[in-house]
Amino acid sequence: MSESIIGIDLGTTNSEVAIVKDGRVTVIPVSEGVSILPSVVGIADDGSLLVGEAAKNQYVLRPERTVRSIKRHMGEFVPVKMGDKDYSPQEISAMILLRLKKIAEDYLQQPVSKAVITVPAYFSDAQRQATREAGEIAGLTVVRIINEPTAAALAYESGHIGAKKALIYDLGGGTFDVSVVNLEGDVVEVLASHGDNHLGGDDFDQKIVNHAVQHILKQHGVDVKGSATAMARLQRAAEAAKITLSDQPYALISEEYLIENNGLPLHLSLEISREEYQEMIMPFIDATLDATHIALAGAGLTVSDIDEILLVGGATRTPLVANRLEQTLGLQPRGELNPDLCVAMGAAIQAAIIQGAKTSSVLVDVTPYTFGTSAIAFLNGEEYPYCFVPLIRKNTPIPVSKSEVFFTTHDGQTKVDIDVYQGEDPDALNNIEIGRFLIEGLRKTSSGNPIVTTFAIDVDGILHVSSREKATGLEHSITINNVLTRFENDKLDEARARINTLFGEQDSVQDNASNQNKEELTALLEKADRLLKNAGPEDSADLVNAIEAVKDARDQPEQLLRQAIDDLADLLYYMET
Ligand code: AMP
């Protein structure tokens, strides 16, 4: 067996190592159930070398013996002090690479001496050379250095046919990069890149920390900024709250004994809504969108030239990121691959391509449909009671659970109807209702009573929908089976065809009729559509019925379909004469 080439994402905050084995991409665990190695090295009290989590943990207590974010210094000729010795940035990076090499060797039970390593697209020659040297110090021949957006594109799209333009939006903990790439087979060309070296999810945490600090000052008259321990605790709690807000409409920061105030312990209990949080981080997201437009301009392209938006980096799990990208670019971004791991996966795919192994993009279990509910909102500028509110978007990996808050609309309202839909249309009534239930017995209060609705899909394709009155915890729910398959061939296509026919786009009509029937059917439906526009009420009802009958017959034996087509043809003949 030839020696495996490993793929390494050598990140500013975290690093990962992956491999393609038997055509499948695997991110190698660095410890049980953990695939991410913090890019931190340090010297322990006993003089031993620490790499990863252990080094990260000692950073607060021993910053002078710990080094973080060395990637920011690659290519510089600066000594990096760690303990009582100076090191080059390459040597520090080599310590991380050596650990990853050992992890891969333990996993594969064989020596590893070759790697593909990723770097940001904007890295200069000197920075790339330094990365190569780091590999060599670690005993790795760097068979290729590839750009991070190239790796991400390979993870998503390797093996696809034809050419595509993709936007790779990479928002990590401390850096933001956006690249426009051209994909052709397994060849990825970066057309333009832009970004901000000091923007990322850590800034989002900071906003929450500041918010909590202000709250404590206002509520208790205490300035916690003076206490390093209290600030460290707030920092951790803020990141946890941020992560909760990616899936939930509210997060509670609860820290007992945060600080002492006039000899008494101060307990912090602060709830943050997703709405408040989104307002805090909006300027950051806007800055990333500005950078995106700059990258597009740099590539000489416009929004309409882009076929795919691919999400990379842990902070892209923030729903506002995908929402704002979709709003401004008119394309639903893809985020089905783990955004922390897809660069390492792409590096492994590149390694396999170099070895001539058969590879394809990474496959994950996703929901092929969008699920959501309806609410009063504005549709086409008018208030409308059945606006579709998607909770789980198609292509989301399963299992998944997402919650949203809704509010009662009138005073004294004690019940709310919850409709569950599958579809994409902003008008819920054009989607397929797959269930409904009533939450009743709500407390009598003024309008605006928050109701938290949760949609969860498990690995068996069971959708569990529940609604809870936030103030009381009163909850009702339903369970719908087989949501990932049940409407695949019948209702969904039918509904789509119905709508398309009425709007004059027959391309998506699918049937199992013979080609001859198919052609005839298309021509007839086109004609029916034309006549429907000028038909009187009675004729149009007949016509809609005849169209429906044809649609219903599509999956029936040929004979029945023939009959339905003939009936529709007769009706059209009658209407024309
Ligand atoms: P990366 O540098 O790509 O590993 O991304 C790390 C950043 O992603 C950190 O700021 C994390 O707090 C953030 N992050 C991780 N998970 C989530 C999540 N579910 N929602 C929002 N941010 C997240």
Q: Is 206 exposed, middle or buried (0-12, 13-18, 19+ CB in 10 A)?
A: middle
For ligand 1, say whether the CB of 315 is within 6 Å of any of its atoms.
yes
Spell out a b/e string for 491-500, using b for 16 or more CB atoms within 10 Å of the CB, else e: ebbbbbbbeb
| 148 and 16 both lie in a single domain | yes
pLDDT value for 486: 53
Question: Across residues 8-32, what is the average pLDDT?
Answer: 94
Cα distance between residue 25 and residue 238, in whole Å: 33
For ligand 1, say whether the CB of 172 is within 6 Å of any of its atoms.
yes
Question: Across residues 253-275, what is the average pLDDT?
Answer: 95
Cα 173 to ligand 1 centre (Å)? 6
Range of the domain at 383: 371-480
Per-residue model confidence as pLDDT tens digits over 33-58: 999 999 999 999 999 999 999 999 88
Extended strands (E) in 112-242: 114-119, 141-147, 163-171, 176-184, 187-196
Strand partners, 145: 117
pLDDT value for 313: 96
Q: Which of 266-275, 445-454, 563-572 has the lowest mean pLDDT?
A: 563-572
Is pLDDT above 80 for 3?
yes
Which residue has the CA at smallest separation from atom 15 of ligand 1?
314
| 103 and 178 both lie in a single domain | yes
CATH of the domain at 334: 3.30.420.40
Cα 132 to ligand 1 centre (Å)? 27
Counting the structural domains of the chain, the total is 4
Structure tokens at 437: 């239930």
Residues 102, 106, 107, CA angle at the centre, nearest 5°?
115
Is pLDDT above 60 for 450?
yes
pLDDT value for 474: 97
For residue 36, give the ligand 1 atom closest to its CA.
4
Rg of the chain over all Cα atoms, to the nearest angstrom? 28
| 77 and 177 both lie in a single domain | yes
Question: Across residues 474-501, what is the average pLDDT?
Answer: 69
Higher pLDDT: 515 or 182? It is: 182
For ligand 1, say whether the CB of 201 is within 6 Å of any of its atoms.
yes
Per-residue model confidence as pLDDT tens digits over 390-425: 999 988 888 999 999 999 999 999 999 999 999 999
Cα 178 to ligand 1 centre (Å)? 17
% of the chain with per-residue pLDDT over 70: 94
Confidence grade of residue 513 (pLDDT, cut at 50, 70, 90): very low
pLDDT value for 490: 53
Confidence grade of residue 493 (pLDDT, cut at 50, 70, 90): low
Higher pLDDT: 555 or 516? It is: 555
Cα distance between residue 514 and residue 523, in whole Å: 14
Q: How many CB atoms lie within 10 A of CB 282?
A: 12
**Whether the Cβ atoms of residue 372 and residue 389 lie closer than 8 Å to each other:** yes
Which residue has the CA at smallest separation from atom 8 of ligand 1?
314
Per-residue model confidence as pLDDT tens digits over 91-111: 999 999 999 999 999 999 999
For ligand 1, say whether the CB of 239 is within 6 Å of any of its atoms.
yes
* HSE, side-chain direction, 13 A CA sphere, residue 551: 24
Eight-class DSSP state of 148:
H
| 135 and 56 both lie in a single domain | yes
Question: Which of the listed residues 53, 171, 340 should we mutate to test ligand 1's pocket, taking the one with most ligand atoms within 8 A of CB?
Answer: 340
| 44 and 151 both lie in a single domain | yes
Cα 176 to ligand 1 centre (Å)? 12
Is pLDDT above 70 for 487?
no
pLDDT value for 507: 38
**CA-based max dimension of the chain:** 98
Confidence grade of residue 526 (pLDDT, cut at 50, 70, 90): confident
CATH of the domain at 261: 3.90.640.10
Is pLDDT above 60 for 511?
no
Structure tokens at 26: 């695997």
Per-residue model confidence as pLDDT tens digits over 289-311: 999 999 999 999 999 999 999 99
Question: Across residues 205-209, what is the average pLDDT?
Answer: 98
Instruction: Give the DSSP H/E element, type plus range, for residue 237.
Output: helix 228-245
Higher pLDDT: 320 or 163? It is: 320
For ligand 1, say whether the CB of 317 is within 6 Å of any of its atoms.
yes
Last residue of a domain, one of 338, 366, 394: 366
| 389 and 431 both lie in a single domain | yes
pLDDT value for 49: 95
Last residue of a domain, one of 480, 506, 530: 480
pLDDT value for 476: 96
pLDDT value for 505: 41
CATH of the domain at 466: 2.60.34.10
Is pLDDT above 80 for 29?
yes
For ligand 1, say whether the CB of 318 is within 6 Å of any of its atoms.
yes
Task: Work out whether the CA dihedral 320, 323, 328, 333 comes out positive or negative.
Answer: positive
Question: Across residues 345-366, what is the average pLDDT?
Answer: 87
| 431 and 558 both lie in a single domain | no
Pairing of strands 141-147, 114-119: parallel
Is pLDDT above 70 for 261?
yes
Cα 246 to ligand 1 centre (Å)? 10
Structure tokens at 457: 């899909």
Per-residue model confidence as pLDDT tens digits over 54-94: 999 888 778 899 999 999 999 999 999 999 999 999 999 99
Amino acid occupying residue 162:
G
For residue 171, give the ligand 1 atom closest to its CA.
3
Which residue has the CA at smallest separation from atom 19 of ligand 1?
243
Cα 29 to ligand 1 centre (Å)? 18
| 464 and 503 both lie in a single domain | no
Confidence grade of residue 541 (pLDDT, cut at 50, 70, 90): confident
Helices of type H across 221-300: 228-245, 274-298
Cα 171 to ligand 1 centre (Å)? 8
Last residue of a domain, one of 447, 480, 513: 480
The top-scoring range by mean pLDDT among 20-24, 125-129, 275-279 is 275-279
Cα 158 to ligand 1 centre (Å)? 25
Q: Which of 105-109, 239-243, 490-494 has the lowest mean pLDDT?
A: 490-494
Question: Which of the listed residues 208, 318, 341 should we mutate to test ligand 1's pocket, taking the one with most ligand atoms within 8 A of CB?
Answer: 318
| 147 and 210 both lie in a single domain | no
| 292 and 437 both lie in a single domain | no
For residue 339, give the ligand 1 atom closest to its CA.
3
Question: Across residues 308-317, what is the average pLDDT?
Answer: 97
Task: Write the CB contacts of 453 (distance below 8 Å, at least 6 apart in sequence).
Answer: 373, 391, 403, 404, 405, 406, 418, 465, 466, 467, 468
pLDDT value for 63: 87
- Extract long-range pairs of 431-434: CB within 8 Å, 24+ residues apart: 431/388, 431/495, 432/487, 432/491, 432/492, 432/495, 434/371, 434/463, 434/480, 434/483, 434/486, 434/487
Task: Write the CB contacts of 522 (distance below 8 Å, at least 6 apart in sequence).
Answer: 506, 509
Structure tokens at 4: 């495996």
Cα distance between residue 323 and residue 52, in whole Å: 34
| 295 and 187 both lie in a single domain | yes
Q: 342-354 and 148-157 helices cross at what angle (nearest 10)?
A: 80
For ligand 1, say whether the CB of 202 is within 6 Å of any of its atoms.
yes
For ligand 1, say whether the CB of 135 is within 6 Å of any of its atoms.
no
pLDDT value for 197: 86
Confidence grade of residue 2 (pLDDT, cut at 50, 70, 90): confident
Question: Which of the listed residues 68, 239, 323, 337 should we mutate to test ligand 1's pocket, taking the one with most ligand atoms within 8 A of CB?
Answer: 239
As annotated, the active-site residues are 9, 71, 148, 170
| 264 and 245 both lie in a single domain | yes
